[in-house]
Structure 1
Amino acid sequence: MALVYRGPASCNGCSESVATLLRNSPTAFRTQFCGPDEAVDITPAALAKATLYAQPGGGSVNSAWRKMRRYADPIRSFVHQGGHYLGFCLGAYLAGASPGFDLLPGDTDEYVGSPGAQVRTTDDTLIQIRWRGRPRTMYFQDGPLFRLRPGAPAVVLATYDTGAPAAVVAAYGSGRVGAVGPHPEADRSWYDGADLSNPTGIHFDLGYDLVESTMHGAVPPSKS
């Protein structure tokens, strides 16, 4: 079972796209939406029935954090005790510490405006990254980069053109955290809505890799 946040800290359609990605992944999750206006809220009891908690994209980090901070302790405890967290764009920012759930061995930062960044706009656009060393084009909208501590218990799955991590899997206690700046869950409706066309086609293999690496990949153990 995967719990997928849906509520005021997520964007229209983002939660549904993450749920679809999880259901179609090799692990083939059952999914349930959770949040303050859903039948299931984010509580220790609800999380105890899940294997994974997913935080989709949304609006600004500070605004989202005001809505999510009350869930920080249950989410941290869930992951520390062996659960799994997946963060996409805003959800990846919230995996960091300033502000956020503080699940990463380091923190996040805005890629747009970072030294040498190829993307200078916060509008929906395309970005070229290297996933496991291979060039790919992905949907992007002001996603984070990751600043990991040296020797951190983490694996970098993808990098931006600057070499900064674009997708990571890290240990947190007995659990794992997967976080990605671009949007591997973006389906055709995202591209059509933003009047964008991916020259390499719309594929979900990168999202599946993130999911499976978070669930089953080898990550150095956390010392926390």
Structure 2
Amino acid sequence: MKKEVKNIYLYDDQGVDVESLDQLKATCEALLGKNYTIKTISAEDVARGLWCHDAALFCMPGGADLYYVKKLHGRGNDCIKKYVYEGGAFLGICAGAYYASLRVEFDKGGPLEVVGPRELGFFKGTCRGPVLAPYSYTTKAGCRAAALTTSLCDVPRTVVYYHGGGFFEHAETCPQTRVIATYEHDGPAIIFTRCGKGRAVLSGVHFEFNPLVMDQHDPYLQKIMHELVASNETRIILGTHIFAMLV
């Protein structure tokens, strides 16, 4: 009997940024909600592995990568990796993209340095950042409107929200990997990669963030809000393409 793959699982445990999770959930519901049930899942349940039997997609949102390491090391990562390599789909955004790369280099040499190997390794290289501005864990001082050039015919350019993400070093020469979008001056921002029978999309930018529901009163967001709103339609088209690559 063919297994049902009707659920999209969003990782939700220590280290996950609440706003990132909420935005990802809203985007999944808007673009995929007619055909799939959107669910959150804890690290403990990831490690149990039961979700693998009915998952159409596993998503890791933005947050703090070191907590992902702490909670998923070993059994949890093994389950995610097995699921993907046996034909599943994975989406990693910002911290989720760092985490799914073979190596992380975040703020190397700086006060927030996080450097080291990671177990999933869907991208067989280094995700290095932050790209566009220094990161702050307490404010949105490091947020930017990221101008992207894409490989998609109907959305060659767009602008999306950025907050601390990385770029995928040498992704353009990595086997089984395609660059979907590139930062204006700083390398690959979104990539698609084949992983055994499965596939993964990793994004250093927050293409899932809808500017129309972001905090209009935040002084840092106010500086970039006009650009984000002006590109919201192309952002949605980009997101539609990304999900079509996965489910």
- Name the TM-score class by shorter chain: 0.7 to 0.9
Residue 150 of structure 2 corresponds to which residue in structure 1? 131
Contact 1:6 1:34 in 2 (8 A): yes
User: 1:66 pairs with 66, 70, 73, which one?
Assistant: 70
Contact 1:129 1:160 in 2 (8 A): yes
With over 3 angstroms needed to count, the CA separation of the structure-2 counterparts of 1:29 and 1:16, relative to structure 1, is farther
Q: Distance in 1 between matches of 2:43 and 2:85?
A: 23
- Aligned-residue RMSD, C-alpha: 2.2
User: What SS does the aligned partner of 1:143 have?
Assistant: coil
User: 1:202 pairs with 232, 237, 241, which one?
Assistant: 232
Contact 1:17 1:185 in 2 (8 A): yes
Does 2:70 match 1:48? no
Larger Rg: 2
Contact 1:138 1:198 in 2 (8 A): no
- For 1:43, the aligned partner's letter is R
What's the offset of the Cα at 1:151?
Answer: 4.8
Q: Distance in 2 between matches of 1:127 and 1:159?
A: 10
Does 2:154 match 1:154? no
With over 3 angstroms needed to count, the CA separation of the structure-2 counterparts of 1:36 and 1:152, relative to structure 1, is closer
Does 2:89 match 1:80? no
- For 2:39, the aligned partner's letter is Q
The structure with the greater share of residues assigned to helix is 2
1:122-147 deviation line (CA, Å, top 9, x unaligned): 21221111122622111000111112
State the percentage of identical aligned residues.
19
User: What SS does the aligned partner of 2:232 have?
Assistant: coil
Instruction: Name the TM-score, length of structure 2 as normaliser.
Output: 0.75
User: What SS does the aligned partner of 1:120 have?
Assistant: coil
User: 2:190 pairs with 157, 164, 167, which one?
Assistant: 167
Residue 8 of structure 2 corresponds to which residue in structure 1? 2
Aligned residues: 206
Contact 2:43 2:72 in 1 (8 A): no
Instruction: Name the TM-score, length of structure 1 as normaliser.
Output: 0.82
- For 1:3, the aligned partner's letter is Y
User: 1:29 pairs with 36, 45, 50, which one?
Assistant: 36
1:195-217 deviation line (CA, Å, top 9, x unaligned): 341422434222221111233xx
Contact 1:126 1:198 in 2 (8 A): no
- For 1:62, the aligned partner's letter is L
Point out where structure 2 has 5 or more consecutive residues left out of the alignment. Answer: 1-6, 104-116, 136-141
User: What SS does the aligned partner of 2:17 have?
Assistant: coil
What's the offset of the Cα at 1:163?
Answer: 5.5
What's the offset of the Cα at 1:191?
Answer: 5.1
- For 2:158, the aligned partner's letter is R
